[in-house]
Amino acid sequence: MNLIFLGPPGAGKGTQSKRLSARFGIPQLATGDILRKAVADGTSLGKRAKTLMDAGKLVPDEIVNGIIDEALASPACANGFLLDGFPRTVPQAVALDEMLQKRGRKIDHVIQLNVPVEMLVERLSGRQTCPTCQTPYGKDTPPKQDNLCDKDGTPLAIRPDDQPDRIRQRLVEYETKTALLTDYYKARGVVRAVGGVGTVEEVERRILEAVKR
């Protein structure tokens, strides 16, 4: 099963991606994680990305697409994958289609998590993140020990991006760019709209029902 998660910041994509990845036995391909791994592994594309990142520049689509393409070629993706954070734009979606077509594959479902704006602001404003591994913690997914990451014990922090004024700006950016993907994938009949309000278990149950349709 080949899945994409869409939804604004704070919709719960990361949390649900990890749960579905474990349930279906397919890798979760989170763009940030893949990019960091390529840099750490010193791949050709990873080296190019590192040079740009060290200079404070954005990594262009050409490199991001290439790193995703390399990840899709991994044996771990033979039985499917779950993309979290990619594609972000229609041009990236077109590039992804080309990557899959050359392998005789396609996207089966695009899970669109829907959460009201004010709830997103509330969720993100109370979110803490591990500076080391980037794992987020919030009201519904608190750390086992207050202010410490479950994975490595690093003290948690509130990212500048998770301040209320910046959150609203990020949501506007999402609506003007990433939300355009909804129409792109609706034309393919693969969008599954899912309500993202409720417990983690409730939302997961809705997603499982959606992919069975």
The answer to whether 48 is a known catalytic residue is no
Containing H/E element for 137? strand 136-137
Residues 38/142, Cβ–Cβ less than 8 Å: no
Q: Which of 19, 48, 88, 206 is catalytic?
A: 88
DSSP character at residue 120 = H
Closest CA to 151 of 33, 9, 24: 33
Q: How many other CB atoms are there within 10 angstroms of residue 203's CB atom? A: 22
User: Are β-strands 81-84 and 2-6 bridged in parallel, bridged antiparallel, or unpaired?
Assistant: parallel
Sequence-ordered list of residues with C-beta below 8 angstroms from that of 168, at least 6 positions apart, any chain: 117, 121
Collapsing DSSP to helix, strand or coil, 106 comes out as: coil
Q: Are 174 and 166 in contact (CB under 8 A)?
A: no
Structure tokens at 15: 């949390």
Catalytic member of 105, 159, 166, 168: 159
Catalytic residue at 127? yes
Exactly one of 19, 48, 123, 127 is catalytic; name it.
127
User: Would you state the structure tokens that stand for residue 47, as one six-digit string?
Assistant: 């080296």
The token duo for 197 is 């309000």
Phi and psi for 110 in degrees, rounded to 5? -115, 110
Task: Supply the residues annotated as catalytic.
Answer: 13, 88, 127, 159, 170
